[in-house]
Every structure is written in structure tokens, then in C-alpha cells.
């Protein structure tokens, strides 16, 4: 994580941080509105976590890495929570097995809300009163905690979607949803010359450690699609026996298709699609989502194209403003490109790239438990770029590297095409 | 199920049934006192079910087999519940997979309580107003529903115990527990001559279908212990390397010991034992419980004895009054035999027998869905007798045949020794 | 194992035993005629063993329990064989995991044949020269070794059948097969009164330990079919949606049908059947075989009958001569009942009974490793009676109790119907 | 696959090819010397294949892609072999499941040797007599068949090693092994400037399709070790609790360590190591081998270094002569670096790189079944470079990209360190 000093006075920096802290912490709890206590307990698969676990884990992060580490005299809210709500930090100690988070009825949501209040108050007080030295030492981790919390906001949304979709009645999560409709803009391409390019984060402003260092990469000439692949286009792939023709698939992807009986993206049901606002007819113009990397790759091969590398994606994103159908837009689902100009770079769906998730040249993990944040996952996963309709505003950047296993489908993951020039 | 007419007027029979119905239905809900909504959702293994599922399933039984079948004009509370809360009646239609009951956040407990109220009102009204013909046709099934509900009361207790014990903090379920202490009475034996005996239910009063018909069996001379095996005795078996010496075990039991790493009964933790009132020091005098049939058999072989057959058990039970440490005693755990006279025939622990669960000679399943109640499980399971500290009063009889797989340990299952004479 | 003294002089007993020893040992090797070394290596499932393992294991039995134990100065052929060829005798020491027998390329068949010759010579010499005391001490175990070898002869046949059937080309094992054809005799029934009967082995002549002691059992009145169920009758069950109607099945059997996709007996392929002489058209008149206990039970329920208990079977077998379509008949497959008089009690197929495999009253395991022979398997298995077309002559008796898990299908297992009277 | 025309007359090209064909085909069979037919049947895990399957599959390749496709009138040796010996070519039709290759006793090795003779004769005749057009059309695939066969030579060796090591007695494969001993040369480093480099195959001479096209890549400044990591160095990692400290491991690698109980490389047994010549004391100076990518990465992190990328490796290999401890050297195991000058670039062990196996920019699969050769495996695997002591001479190049899953250990896979400059 490279964080440059922000251009403010120390006091303003603290106030600014306190404001963001309150905003982000409140936004997390707001995601539980309309849900029942029972909804917050269940874990629908090992990859997903109960909502109340997310509520507690993000709180544990601030308690552990700020308050316990940097706030002398802070009283831990409940000493058993360290074991329960550590996600994967081996350096911090033993932890509850991930696949068994759904077996934890206690602490209840009510008690976790108390936990949040306790930590919020202490963290806010710390922001006010910490010595300059303490503040300077912990500020980057505090900011990291905010971005960490936003990551979990997205997971709350996708994990809830998965859990509710396992229920035979598919309960509705959000009813207050605006749903723009439009025809799909025609698919056009941007061409890019080859050459040595610089990619990765340059250290100005927050970024996760895995986004840097900024470095040179040789990028061969390529072209890239100006919008996302739509459900209509993906349906044509299916209609052309896409899931029955091994020639489009990686061997491993083909094995997944056979073993799991995939015949369409996750959440497709006949002509319908399950959304966070319930099942409804699929719109041919809306971006396809909830596909695995295997499916994205097979579709691209069928379309006589390929997925972009992450360097290509970042070059193509260039200085497009960071805006789009993000969580705050309130659509809770990808929406059709309003016009040919709307390139859908940010928001709507995470875009699978052709790039495995590996360290950039010169990458070094930060010391201590925080060093476990990203580096240890750099094996067997693929990079996704651009954020989705479940990504909170302020949480996405041109250099942001998301990563999931190639068989993952429960994120809002979709497809942008590219090809050699 | 053989049910004889009870010796009352028709009106008194209805009133009596209404009283029992209210008593039993209320007792089920009372088991959730002190628990949080979150506790009622979780499913700790495929064999166990969430408490709120038990609350709903027992209600579905009355709705389906009484109200829908016999109450003209009855409005089903929620048509989706049939799919969700059918346990295993193939004849009634498709059902939610058992292992996924813990993924159902909805209906919430609150709504299930409404469901119970709806069905209770309708069933009570039906008891009052049904025609004599309708009442006669459905009465036996109504009574079956009461016994079915009591079975699930016991499962609520054992399933909760299992779920809470999976939590690293092992939350306490019951705090208001009287715990008698006593030395273990000396182990003595009753001797029984051989000969043709009659066992099984004779049709007077309620019994499950699998308890009859009453039939002749040749029983060879045997002796049987006058009390249950204690924790102290079982600890001696462990100390004598019981779990490390294959000569005591069935081949299949030995494989289970290896594969699952068993070294003691379920819920033993060092010198402590997990009870429904939390972890506490084990009492050498209390009956051992939460052992599998494999462990019961291995212990018996170590002790140069064997388990009794169910015929032997029933002969030995003879006309001992049906009383003991049942659920209503409020101990929530087996207790030491107060004296040599206390034979612990009923209550404390279900006693594993040497008898596989097979139909009695002449057994016939009742027609229709109710016929699925017991017969289809007559494969690969072992019979247990006598009820436990989680069995509701009025729910146990000399002829009652409980059955579980030989590796099951989450019931209050224990050991009584027998041997050839 | 109860073995009574045979009515001969000591010398004649030794000679007789030597003759039987040679005959049985040679018969084992004769089963490999026409096979390639490669055929003898493979293990098609954990329940089955490679042929060469059977060749070695039966030899190890004599080496371990006769020569090492009773022949002073005997040189073990290869000290590594103890680990490799112990099947399940915990008391004899560690052993190679059963499921990995197919990974053992060495010793080769050639070396195992040498091993057999070495042990055969030593055992023959021991029979001649052992002191009377040694002979008396070991004779029963020697006889047990012969019966043990015959058991493995049957397993060689059924395991080979399974392995060859896994091959897409289904290689033929036996070509020299006489195949009688006949219409199925009409199904008739014998009726038997109820009462106390004696069943089990009385100790005269050889029997396995599990066949005794002879004991009293109360048998209710019953009737039993005079021939086996045929393929034609079983096909009618299938045509009547037998594999799609849960009402005929035990819950556990129904789960097996779903999980394994069973739609017919093992080795049925459309209208054909795989036999040891290759695939050929199925004969409606031939006894159905290679069904599990679940299928046998479901068929019986569909046919409004049930399986006989083992006591009923033994009563019905009465003093029928022990003869029929056994291995030595050379059919290598069940054959139609030649006439109504041919009751098919012995040979053709092992007949599943309704009886779980439990110890008889008064059963005691012999001391030492030999005690592991039968008793430790008395859990979760079902008894079969009567021998099959793969059972060697001289190896079947009225009291013989074979046992397999209820889902086993690779033995020649079939169905005889019974019902209450 | 890019193959440039070789600088010979057409006739010489055919003769040359015939010579190489005979040499390589004979070399395959020579690998079975000293083995028993039983050794050639077994399959010790799904990743490995029986030797006789390799013998047949390489033959099937020539039969299918040369003789059937390009030799009019060729008679297929056995039409069932297509199903049995297709490895993974979906375009060629259905095939026997990989994990069940060990269940195929037939065809026997003897018959497979006949198959080889049949195809060898026909292929040799085809080389002589094919029309110039046919020869031109098929020559590249013929050459591919030779390299394909050499790949399987290496697999025969590693699969046999795995199978023999599963045997409790660990039979010896090669006894005629020269084993040089030397102290480990000191570890020194070569430094390389950064800049745009060209990597990949340029099309001159044979290469697999995945080695091209040659393309530009930006390589940052780096240094790379001048020899392989030794057993002594790896033992120091173990002694420093390398397998017990999660900080060195990828999350996925740590999970593998826990789940599989890894505490050392495959084939380490205490102070010994299993080799193809049997178990013997480990030599601290010999290169470590049979480590997974996870272990290689963890070791590198412990050593405060990292694995090289494949571009770095290729840059560093530069124009080092392609020579070293390859299969033909007859060591059958990695050997210590004889001197500081011996850089061990080729032979000894395949060197894990930091690079996931992805297509090079501009990569295109050849059309038809041959297109399935490499591209479809470009998911979730890691690149290894340099060949091993089991790689046949003539089969390794600077641009050769081998690939395995990060948990694979049964290849001769080892470690070369690199780091940023």
C-alpha cells in the first residue's frame, strides 16, 4: 500500500478522515436495511460469509490494527472476537474456519451493532486525540481500513445475493430500484499502438499494495471493445451450442462445465434473471454478468476475440473519468450502455482480464500482518478490472486490481473483448 | 400405528385431545426460551435441523395430514411451506434438501410463530367442530401428530446441543438446572430364564407402527445389568487403551475411530463434559452418554459382556413403571442412579441394543403417506430403548423402538450391559 | 469355527487333508487359465482385489497360521509378504491399505506362483511329519485355511468379472461354457407352520464360527417360493417403473438409486447381460443376479412379498441335498430352473435374506487372530444364503451365512420371495 | 508449432526423419528394460499413466495424425484403440477416462508391442513412399509426433518413479547408474540490465506452438543465481521451520501444506531420498527436486529472493549451449554442479518460474485437433524451464515452455533463485 501525504493541515486531515470514517461505517450498516436477523446469519457457500460476520470483521480490523495497536488504554470489546472475526491474518493468531462462519449464531447482530458503536466511538476519539506521532504512524492503516470496509460492502451485496438465490422462493433484497432501459449501443473498437507503457499506481493517493510499483511494460498493438458484452450477445453464444462445444474452452473450463452442469451464467433461469430486486425477464441490452473466467474466455474465443490483458485494459482506460454504474447509483444491477460514448469502463461489472494475478516487478509486501493483505493470494487467480454495480463510489481506480479464481461466478463479473491488431 | 379406542365419551375424547394438543404445542415453543433468533437458524450438520425448521415442520404435519386432508375449507397458511417443511414424505411431493435447511433464512421465526398460531387455531376448531365421521377418520393421525411433535421436541434439544457445541465459546442453553449428585450404585445383574416370550405392542393405547404386532420370540437365558454404564467405568475403558485396541471393535467401528479421530464420547473435553448448561467437570457416577453403537459395543466387549437384544431389554423392563429422568424432570442431562433400586430403565439415556432395526414378524405399513413414517428406515440402523433425559414425559413406552445409525453420537445414547447365562 | 473330530485314523486324516489341500490349491491356480499377467494386477474398486493378491493372500494364510505357528524351523518365503498380503487381521500386524492393492506390481504373478509352490511343499511336508500334538493343535486351522481358500476362489471369479466389465471392450473370461436353456418353471410356494425351531450348525463337520451355536428360534408361519426370481420377472418390475417409485424402497436404497443412477441390475446393458463368457442376450428364464439388497427388497415389496429371514430360509432348506449350479458345474452363470422340482436352494445365486448379520445367541469368537475371522464384521451387513454359480463344491452348507453390505452388487446375488402365512 | 524447412534435399529429409523416428521409437521401448509386465499396468494417481498406455498412446498419435490422415489404404491396427489411447483430443472423439487407465488390463504389453511394430513399419514405409505433396502436408505433424513421443518418454520415467514409490518395498528401476559426487559450488549471481528484450521461438527449427511467436517484452533489471538450489539449502529451510511458518507461503500453498501434511519434498524419507535406483542417503550438494511451485516460492521467499520470470530465465539462458544432465546422461537423478562454471541451465531439474502459463502476444492455435496440443491448457498452470534429468536429448530448447499445476511434485522440478536489481 503506497499512500502519499495528502495536501492538508494535520487537523484538517483528521477531520476529513473522521468524516469519511462515519460515512463509510454508516453505509455498511445501511446495507442491512430491510433484512431480518435470520438473513444475516446464513452462509451459502465457503466463499461467502454471513452479513453479520462482515459487520463484525470490518470492525475487528479497526479494533486490531488501530485501537489495540495505537490507542493506549483501549479496552477490547470482547476478547473472543479476535478468534471469531479474523479473516486470514496468520500473523494475528488462530481463527475460526472460514467454511464454518455460518455455524456462529453468537454474537447476535444486536451485539455486533453494539461492537460497531463501541469501536466507532473509540476510533473517532482516537482520530481527535491521538498524538501527532501516533496519528502519523497509524494513518495509512486507518485509510486502509476504510478501503477494506468498502471491499466488504461489495461482498455483503454479492454474498447476500448468493444466499437469497439459494432459497427456493428467492426473497427480494431491494425494491427501490431504478432500471434504465436502452438498446445496446453498437459494438465499436478502439485501436492502440504498441510500445513500452507505464502501468500501475504511482503512489499519489491511496492504492492497495498490489497496484504498484508503477513500472514499464511492453504492450503489443491491440484493439479493445468500447462497451461490455451484453446478455443478448451471450445468449447467441449459448444458442450456438457454446456450452456444448469443447473447442471454445480451456481444458479446465470444459471440465467445470461438465462437472457442474453449467449451461448459462449463474442466476439465469430460462428467459429470466435473478437480480437483487427479484427474478425478472432478462434484457438483451444489459451487460452479461456472473460469468466465470472460463466462460468469459470461451465466449471471447467463440467471438473470434480474446480478453484484454490488464496492461491493455489500463492503457485503454487512460484518463477516462472514474464514474459509472457504481453501488451509489442505486441500480443494484448492470445497466445497458446509454450511448456509444458510454464506454462502461467503471462500474456495471468487473471485467475479467487475460492476466493471472501476479506481483508487479519490484513488488514488496509491507511488513507485519498488513503484508498479508494481497501478496499471499498471488497464485492461481485472475485479475479483474473496473469495479461493478456493487462497488462503492470512491473505491475504484484505473490501477485497481481485483482478483478471483477462474471458476468464481458470484461476483458481478462480465466481459470486455479485445484482440490483436 | 395401532391405536385403540380410548374409554371415554366422544366429547370427552375431543376435549382431552385439545388439552394435550395445547400442552404439547406450547411445550415445543417453550424450548426456545432464552434463545436468540440467530440460534434458531443454524444447522450444524446434515443430521440436525434448525430449531425454526422443527417449529415449522411439526406444524406442517398437522396442516397437511389433518387440516388439508380433513378440514373442508381450510386455507393453507403459505403454499410454499409444503416444499420447505416436508421432511421425507415422498408421497406428499418434492421437498427442500435436508442438508440445506440451514440456508433458509425465511420464513423467519416470527412468521413461523404466526404459522403455528394459525394452525393451532384451526386444529383446535377442528377438534371442536369436525363431524363424528371426520373425527373418527382423522383421530389416529392427530394423535400421531402429537407424538411426532414430541419426537421433534427431543430433536430440538439434541440438535441445539450440537449446534451450540460447534461454537468455540459453547454458549449455555439452560441455566436453571438441578443437578443431583450421588455415588454410583454397585453394578448388579438380573437373571432371566429362556423361553418363548411375547414382545411388541398389543394395540392398547398409542404406539408407532413399528412397535407391533405383538409376537412371539424365543429368548435364550440371559442376565442384564441393573443400572447404566457410568462415565467412570467408560473412563476406565479409555484408560485401558480402549480406543487403541482393535480387538474390542467391529471392523466398521474401528474404521470410524481411525477416520474421525475418536478418543472419547462426543462432548468430552479432557476432564470436562459439555452439557446443555455449559462445560463442567465430569461426574464419574453419571451415566455415559453420546456414544455411538460402535463405542457401546466395544465397551461391552472390553467389559466381557455384550449389549442386550431388544427382546431381552423388553423382557427385562417388564412392568417397571414408566418414569425416570425424562425431559420434564428438568435435569437436561443424565443423572447418577440414586440407589441400587433405581434401574434407570426409562429416561437418562437411550440404550443401544444389539438388535438391528428390522420389521417385526407380520409388520405392515399403514397405507398412504403415513406409511412412510417408520418402515422405510428399516435398513442399517440399530434399535435403542428406554428414552432419555430429552424425551418428553408421556412419549416413552416399554415397546418404544428408537433407531439411529451405528455411528450417531449426538443423541443422549448410552449403554446397559447384558450377557449370556 | 466348530470342527468335530472326523471319524478316521490319524494317518488317514492326514492323507485325506493332503489330498484336499492339493485339490483346492490347484483349483485356485486353475482359475487363472487363459488370463494374461496384466489381468491379474488390476483392482477395479476397493471392495475387489487383484487376482494375484488372492493367490498370495490364501498362501500367506497357510504360511502364517500353520507354518510359522506350528512348523518349527520353517523359513518364511519373503518377510515383506506379511505386510502385503494380510487382509484384515489386526492382531497379526500392520498391512497394506486395501484400496491400494492394485498399486502393487510386485511381487509378480510368477513370483507368487513360486511362493505358492514353496508353501505347498512345506505344508504338505508338515501334514506328513508334524507330531501328533502339533497336528491336533493346528488341524482345525488347516481346514479353515481350505475353506478360506475356497471363499477366495469365489472372489477371484467375481472380482475378475467386475474388472473385465470395467473395460470398454469387456474381454471374455470363459469360452467353454455350457448354457442350458429352459422355460421358467411356474412360481409355487411351500408353506411352513410356526413354532420353535433349531437353526445353526451343530458342530458336526466343518463350519465357520458364525454358523453356530445351534440354537432355538421362534419362527412364525410363512411361505416361501420354490424357485428364484427370474430376469423376466425383474424386468416387469423395471417396466412398472420400479426404479422410479420410492414407495417400494427403503429410504437408504432410494438414496442409492438416485446417487448412483441405478436403473437395472449391475451388468445389464439394454437387452443384453454381461457374463463371464461375454455380453449376450438376457434370458427371461434365468435367475436375476447382481442385485443389491435394496433392489431385492424393493422388488419383493413390488411383488407384494418380502425376503425370507435366514431362519425361514434354513427351515425351508431342511434336508434338501447340497447340490446345484455351483462353480464346478462349469456354467459360470445362473441357469433356469430345469423343472418345478428344481428348487435352486444351492448354487445359482446367493439369496439375500431379510436378516442383518448379527451373532447367534451364545456366539463366541475363537481366541487369537482367527477370532477376527467373522465376528468383527457383524455390523451393518445382511445375510445371504445358499451359494452361487461361483461357489466351489464342498464349500456350501445349509447353515452357511454369507454377508455383504446392502449396496453390494458384484457378487452373484439374487432373490427368493417369501411372505407371512 | 512453427517448423522451418530444414536445409536438405527432400530425400535426405525423409531419410533423416526415418533415422530419428527409429531412434526415438526404440528409445521409448528401451525404457521398459528390466521391468515386469505387471509394472507396466499400474496407475498410481490420475495425473500419471501406466507405461503401457504411454507405449500405445504415442503410437496412436502416429497412426491417427499420419497414417489414417495421410496414408491412403492404411489399415487401422485395432479400431478400439482410438477410444482407449486418445489422451485429450476432443476433436478426435470420445475417450477412456484418464483416471481409469489403470483398469485396462488389455491390450497387453505384448499386443501393444505388436501395435508399435505395425505402426512403425507403416510409418517408415510412408516416409519412403509418400508423394511429395503428402509428405509436405504431413511432415510437420510427423516431427511433432517425435517430440510428443519424447515428452512421453519423460512421463514414463516420472510416472514409473511415482508408481514404484507407492510400493512399500520401493522396487529399484535402474541399477546401472553413475553417480558423480562433488561439493556444491558457491552460489553466485549474474546481473542483467533492464530493457525491451525479444523472447520466444523465432520459427527456425522445431518448436511447440506455445513457444511463439517471438515477441518483445520489457524486462526490469534483475539478477539470477548461477546454479540450482541444493538439498542442503532446502534442508536449512526445513530446519528453520519453513513448513510451519505461514509467512513464507502463498495462502493456497499453505492450505496444501496443511491438507496434505507436507513436511519435505516428495520422495524425502528422513535423511534418505528415493531415487530411480532405490532409496539412499541424500547428498547435500545435489539439486533439490520434486518440489511443488508452492514450495519453490516459499523457499525463495525464505531466502529473501524470488523465482525468475520466464522472460528473465530465457534472457539469462542466452546462448548457453543446450547440454547438461539430460536423460541420455544416464544419471536418472540431478547431480551436483561440477564447478562454478556449470550453470545447470539445461537438465537436472525443471525450474519453476514466477510466470503463469499464458499465451504469448499474438499466439494462435493451429487449426484442427493438433490445435488442442497446448493452448487449451493455458489456465492455472505455471511455466517451468530448462528440462530435467529425465528429458531426452534433442528435446529441450531455450524457448521450451513446460507447464504444470502449482501443486505438482512428481516431475523432476526444482528451484533457481532470482531477485530485483
Q: Does A108 touch chain B (CB under 8 A)?
A: yes
Q: What element of type H or E holds D275? A: strand D272-275
Q: Does B82 touch chain A (CB under 8 A)?
A: no
Tell me which chain A residues have a C-beta less than 8 angstroms from the C-beta of D359: 354
- pLDDT confidence bin for B8, thresholds 50/70/90: low
Query: What integer pLDDT is reported at residue B5 of this predicted model?
Result: 44
Give the per-residue SS3 of chain A: CCCCCCCCCHHHHHHHHHHHHHHHHHHHHHCCCCCCHHHHCCCCCCCCCCHHHHHHHHHHHHHHHHHHHHCCCCCCCCCCHHHHHCCCCHHHCCCCCHHHHHHCCCCCHHHHHHHHHHHHHHHHHHHHHCCHHHHHHHHHHHHHHHHHHHHHHHHHHHHHHHHHHHCCCCCCCCCCCCCCCCCCCCCCEEEECCEEEEECCCCCCCCCHHHCCCEEEEECCEEEECCCCEHHHHHHHHHCCHHHCHHHCCHHHHHHHHHHCCCCCCCEECCEEEECCEEEECCCCCECCCCCHHHHHHHHHHCCCECCCHHHHHHHHCCCCCCEECHHHCCCCCCCCCCCCCCCCEECCEEEEEEECCCCCCCCCCCCHHHHCCHHHCCCCEEEECCCCCCCCCCCCCCCCEEECCCCCCCCEECCCEEEC
Q: Going by beta carbons, is chain B in contact with chain D, meaning 3 or more pairs sit under 8 Å apart?
A: no
Q: Which chains touch B (3 or more CB pairs under 8 A)?
A: A, C
pLDDT at B47 over 90: yes
D355, D217 Cβ separation under 8 angstroms: no
Task: Quick: pLDDT tens for B61-99.
Answer: 999 999 999 999 999 999 999 999 998 888 888 889 999
Mutation target for C interface from D168, D169, D170, D278: give the one with most C CBs within 10 A. D168
- pLDDT confidence bin for C8, thresholds 50/70/90: low
User: Cα separations (Å) of C204 from A141, B321, C214, C361?
Assistant: 86, 47, 11, 19
Q: How close does chain C come to B333, measured CA to CA in Å? A: 29
> How does the average pLDDT of chain B come out, rounded?
94
Tell me which chain C residues have a C-beta less than 8 angstroms from the C-beta of D34: none
For the segment A122-131, the average pLDDT, to the nearest whole number, is: 97
Query: What integer pLDDT is reported at residue B82 of this predicted model?
Result: 93
D148, D372 Cβ separation under 8 angstroms: no
Pairwise CB contact (< 8 Å): B108 & A163: no
pLDDT at B286 over 50: yes
pLDDT at D325 over 80: yes
Q: Which residue does chain A place closest to B160, by CA atoms?
A: A105
Q: Does D167 touch chain C (CB under 8 A)?
A: yes
Query: What integer pLDDT is reported at residue D8 of this predicted model?
Result: 54
A92 versus D244: the higher-pLDDT residue is D244
Query: What integer pLDDT is reported at residue A272 of this predicted model?
Result: 97
Pairwise CB contact (< 8 Å): A36 & B108: yes
Tell me which chain A residues have a C-beta less than 8 angstroms from the C-beta of D354: 358-359
Tell me which chain C residues have a C-beta less than 8 angstroms from the C-beta of D167: 103-106
pLDDT at A7 over 70: no
- DSSP secondary structure letter of residue C403: E
Pairwise CB contact (< 8 Å): A420 & D361: yes
Q: Does C83 touch chain B (CB under 8 A)?
A: no
- Residue from the list A218, A251, A361 with its beta carbon closest to the beta carbon of D216: A218
pLDDT at C370 over 70: yes
Pairwise CB contact (< 8 Å): B379 & C294: yes
Q: Does C39 touch chain D (CB under 8 A)?
A: yes
Pairwise CB contact (< 8 Å): D376 & A196: no
For the segment B237-246, the average pLDDT, to the nearest whole number, is: 97
Pairwise CB contact (< 8 Å): A379 & D253: yes
Beta-bridged to residue B268, according to DSSP, are B273
User: Cα separations (Å) of B383 from B46, B147, B314, B353?
Assistant: 21, 18, 12, 6
Instruction: Give the least confident one: A378-387, D8-17, D219-228.
Output: D8-17
Q: Which residue does chain D place closest to A305, by CA atoms?
A: D364
Q: Cα(D316)–Cα(D310) distance, rounded to whole angstroms?
A: 10
Residue D69 burial (10 A CB sphere; 0-12, 13-18, 19+): middle
pLDDT at B2 over 70: no
pLDDT at B309 over 50: yes
Residue C94: CA atoms inside 13 Å, Cβ hemisphere, count? Answer: 4
Query: What integer pLDDT is reported at residue C128 of this predicted model?
Result: 96
Q: Which residue does chain D place closest to A371, by CA atoms?
A: D247
Q: Is the dihedral of CA B154, B155, B161, B164 positive or negative?
A: negative
Query: What integer pLDDT is reported at residue A5 of this predicted model?
Result: 44
Residue carrying the nine cell digits 490349491: C25
> How does the average pLDDT of chain A come out, rounded?
94
Mutation target for C interface from D44, D103, D170, D278: give the one with most C CBs within 10 A. D103
Task: Quick: pLDDT tens for D116-170.
Answer: 999 999 999 999 999 999 999 999 999 999 999 999 999 999 999 999 999 999 8
Pairwise CB contact (< 8 Å): A90 & D361: no
Give the per-residue SS3 of C201-219: CCCCCCCCHHHCCCEEEEE
Instruction: Give the least confident one: A198-207, A407-416, B7-16, C99-108.
Output: B7-16
Q: Does A125 touch chain B (CB under 8 A)?
A: no
Q: Does C37 touch chain D (CB under 8 A)?
A: yes
Q: How close does chain A come to D371, measured CA to CA in Å? A: 9
Q: How close does chain B come to C362, measured CA to CA in Å? A: 6
Task: Quick: pLDDT tens for C382-417.
Answer: 999 999 999 999 999 999 999 999 999 999 999 999
Q: How close does chain D come to C37, measured CA to CA in Å? A: 7
Pairwise CB contact (< 8 Å): D218 & A220: no
Q: Does B258 touch chain C (CB under 8 A)?
A: no
Pairwise CB contact (< 8 Å): D41 & C36: no
Task: Quick: pLDDT tens for C291-336.
Answer: 999 999 999 999 999 999 999 999 999 999 999 999 999 999 999 9
Pairwise CB contact (< 8 Å): B362 & C90: no
B310, B367 Cβ separation under 8 angstroms: no
Q: How close does chain A come to B164, measured CA to CA in Å? A: 8
Query: What integer pLDDT is reported at residue D342 of this predicted model?
Result: 80
Q: Which residue does chain D place closest to A298, by CA atoms?
A: D376
Q: Which residue does chain B place closest to C251, by CA atoms?
A: B376
- pLDDT confidence bin for A93, thresholds 50/70/90: confident
Task: Quick: pLDDT tens for A50-59.
Answer: 999 999 999 9
D156, D31 Cβ separation under 8 angstroms: yes
User: Cα separations (Å) of B99 from A355, B46, B48, B52?
Assistant: 38, 4, 9, 15
Q: How close does chain C come to D38, measured CA to CA in Å? A: 5
pTM: 0.95
- Residue from the list B37, B106, B109 with its beta carbon closest to the beta carbon of A171: B106
Pairwise CB contact (< 8 Å): A167 & B42: no
pLDDT at C6 over 60: no
Pairwise CB contact (< 8 Å): C250 & B378: yes
Q: Cα(A256)–Cα(A245) distance, rounded to whole angstroms?
A: 13
Query: What integer pLDDT is reported at residue A3 of this predicted model?
Result: 39
Query: What integer pLDDT is reported at residue C347 of this predicted model?
Result: 97
- pLDDT confidence bin for B411, thresholds 50/70/90: very high
Q: Which residue does chain B place closest to C355, by CA atoms?
A: B358
- pLDDT confidence bin for D4, thresholds 50/70/90: very low
Q: Does C296 touch chain D (CB under 8 A)?
A: no
Query: What integer pLDDT is reported at residue A1 of this predicted model?
Result: 32
> How does the average pLDDT of chain C come out, rounded?
94
Q: Which chains touch D (3 or more CB pairs under 8 A)?
A: A, C
Residue B216: CA atoms inside 13 Å, Cβ hemisphere, count? Answer: 14
Query: What integer pLDDT is reported at residue D257 of this predicted model?
Result: 98
pLDDT at D181 over 50: yes
- pLDDT confidence bin for C5, thresholds 50/70/90: very low
B387 versus A5: the higher-pLDDT residue is B387
Task: Quick: pLDDT tens for C22-55.
Answer: 999 999 999 999 999 999 999 999 999 999 999 9
Query: What integer pLDDT is reported at residue C2 of this predicted model?
Result: 36
Q: Cα(A381)–Cα(A388) distance, rounded to whole angstroms?
A: 18
For the segment B101-119, the average pLDDT, to the nearest whole number, is: 97
Instruction: Give the least confident one: A48-57, A337-346, D215-224.
Output: A337-346
- pLDDT confidence bin for B9, thresholds 50/70/90: confident
ipTM of predicted assembly, 2 dp: 0.95
- DSSP secondary structure letter of residue D249: S
Who contacts D54 (Cβ-Cβ below 8 Å, separation ≥6)? Answer: D28, D152, D155, D156, D159
Query: What integer pLDDT is reported at residue C339 of this predicted model?
Result: 79
Amino acid at each position: 500500500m503506497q499512500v502519499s501525504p495528502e495536501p492538508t493541515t494535520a487537523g484538517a486531515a483528521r477531520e476529513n478522515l473522521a468524516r469519511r470514517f462515519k460515512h463509510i461505517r454508516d453505509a455498511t450498516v445501511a446495507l442491512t436495511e430491510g433484512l431480518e436477523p435470520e438473513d444475516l446469519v446464513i452462509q451459502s457457500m465457503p466463499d461467502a460469509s454471513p452479513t453479520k460476520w462482515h459487520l463484525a470483521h470490518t470492525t475487528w480490523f479497526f479494533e486490531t490494527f488501530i485501537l489495540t495497536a495505537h490507542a493506549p488504554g483501549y479496552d477490547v470489546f470482547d476478547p473472543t472476537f479476535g478468534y471469531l472475526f479474523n479473516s486470514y491474518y496468520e500473523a494475528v493468531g488462530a481463527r475460526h474456519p472460514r467454511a464454518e462462519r455460518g455455524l456462529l449464531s453468537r454474537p447476535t447482530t444486536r451485539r455486533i451493532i453494539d461492537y460497531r458503536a463501541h469501536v466507532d466511538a473509540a476510533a473517532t476519539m482516537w482520530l481527535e486525540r491521538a498524538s501527532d506521532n501516533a496519528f502519523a504512524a497509524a494513518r495509512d492503516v486507518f485509510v486502509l481500513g476504510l478501503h477494506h470496509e468498502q471491499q466488504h460492502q461489495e461482498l455483503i451485496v454479492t454474498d447476500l445475493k448468493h444466499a437469497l438465490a439459494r432459497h427456493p422462493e428467492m426473497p427480494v433484497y431491494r425494491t427501490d430500484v431504478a432500471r434504465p432501459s436502452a438498446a445496446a449501443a453498437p459494438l465499436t473498437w478502439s485501436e492502440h499502438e504498441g510500445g513500452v507503457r507505464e502501468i500501475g499506481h504511482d503512489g499519489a493517493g491511496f492504492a492497495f499494495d498490489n497496484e504498484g510499483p508503477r513500472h514499464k511494460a511492453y504492450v503489443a498493438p491491440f484493439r479493445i471493445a468500447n462497451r461490455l458484452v451484453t446478455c443478448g450477445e451471450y445468449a447467441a453464444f449459448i444458442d450456438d451450442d457454446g456450452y456444448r462445444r469443447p473447442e471454445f474452452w480451456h481444458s479446465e473450463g470444459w471440465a467445470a462445465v461438465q462437472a457442474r452442469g453449467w449451461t448459462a451464467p449463474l442466476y439465469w433461469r430460462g428467459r429470466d434473471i435473478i437480480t437483487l430486486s427479484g427474478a425478472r425477464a432478462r434484457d438483451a441490452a444489459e451487460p452479461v454478468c456472473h460469468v466465470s473466467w472460463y466462460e468469459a474466455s470461451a465466449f471471447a474465443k467463440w467471438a473470434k476475440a480474446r480478453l484484454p490483458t490488464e496492461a491493455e485494459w489500463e492503457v485503454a482506460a487512460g484518463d477516462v473519468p472514474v464514474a459509472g454504474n457504481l453501488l451509489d447509483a442505486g441500480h443494484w444491477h448492470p445497466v445497458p450502455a446509454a450511448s456509444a460514448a458510454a464506454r462502461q469502463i467503471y462500474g456495471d461489472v468487473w471485467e475479467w482480464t487475460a492476466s493471472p494475478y501476479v506481483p508487479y516487478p519490484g513488488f514488496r509486501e509491507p511488513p507485519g500482518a498488513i503484508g498479508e493483505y494481497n501478496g499471499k493470494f498471488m497464485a492461481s487467480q485472475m485479475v479483474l478490472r473496473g469495479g461493478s454495480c456493487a462497488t462503492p463510489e470512491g473505491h475504484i481506480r484505473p490501477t485497481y486490481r481485483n482478483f478471483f479464481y477462474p471458476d468464481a461466478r458470484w461476483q458481478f463479473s462480465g466481459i470486455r473483448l479485445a484482440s490483436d491488431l
